Amino acid sequence: MAPSTPPKDVFPMHEKNAAENPIEKRRLLREIERLKGENRELKRGLKELKELKDHYRETARELKAARERMAQLSITDPLTETYNYRYFMECLELELKRARRYEYPISLMMLDIDNFKIYNDTNGHMAGDEVLKRIAHAIKDEVRQTDIVARYGGDEFTVILIKTSQEEACQIAERVRETVENLGVCSKKTRPEDRLSVSVGVSTLHSQSLSPEGLVKTADDALYEAKRAGRNRMVIS
């Protein structure tokens, strides 16, 4: 029978010696504590790095939202929340180019609030501002989302009606006029002449050479024809 092989030591000799040597044992314990400390520092650093990355992402989102708000504010009338005159003219020039290129109709509405000065003089400018907001919202509610509603100035509004024929533009204009009339806004004295309505001028692109200013002028001429004809009506250029 072959002699049995003696069992090997589970621990290497130097580790056994270290475990039996108090000085070496303390050194190993200190090394273990140092490594644990470094591990804790590493975890803390990773946590801080993640927090910094999350903070950066949140800051980037806030900056993007702020830039978008600033961009929107730069093209928006603050009172009525419609587009402002500058943005309207930029859009009109762009949309006219598209209409010529792709050969589709485009129309323009010009609207003016009737007797607004009387209303302002009777009720004050704060009440007048509220009326401007109500009428602006009424206009936006009656046109399509693709249409561009802007405050032209004072108590005048304008709407770019994209891919809209003259017949369709007249239907939209009449719908807007009726909606404003049905708001039933009167002055405190409720005199008939103080009841607010809108006069509307409609122009459609007929000539390929017509400029943005030319389209505005033809719609504006139709608007003042509506005023001269008695107000609260729509006239086609």
Which member of 114, 147, 155, 194 is catalytic?
Answer: 155
DSSP per position, 159-223? EEEET--HHHHHHHHHHHHHHHHTT----TT--GGG--EEEEEEEE---TT--HHHHHHHHHHHH
Amino acid in position 10: V
- The DSSP letter of residue 9 is P
Is 77 a known active-site residue?
A: no
- The DSSP letter of residue 156 is E
In this structure, the dihedral spanned by the alpha carbons of residues 221, 224, 229 and 232, taken in order and rounded to 10 degrees, is 120
Q: Which residues of 33-63 are buried (b: 16+ CB within 10 A; e: fewer)?
A: eeeeeeeeeeeeeeeeeeeeeeeeeeeeeee
The residue behind tokens 């044992």 is: 25
- The DSSP letter of residue 151 is E
Cα separation values, 176 from 55, 113, 146, 163, 179, Å: 48, 12, 16, 18, 5
CA gap 16, 11 in Å, rounded: 6
Give catalytic residues, as residue numbers. 155
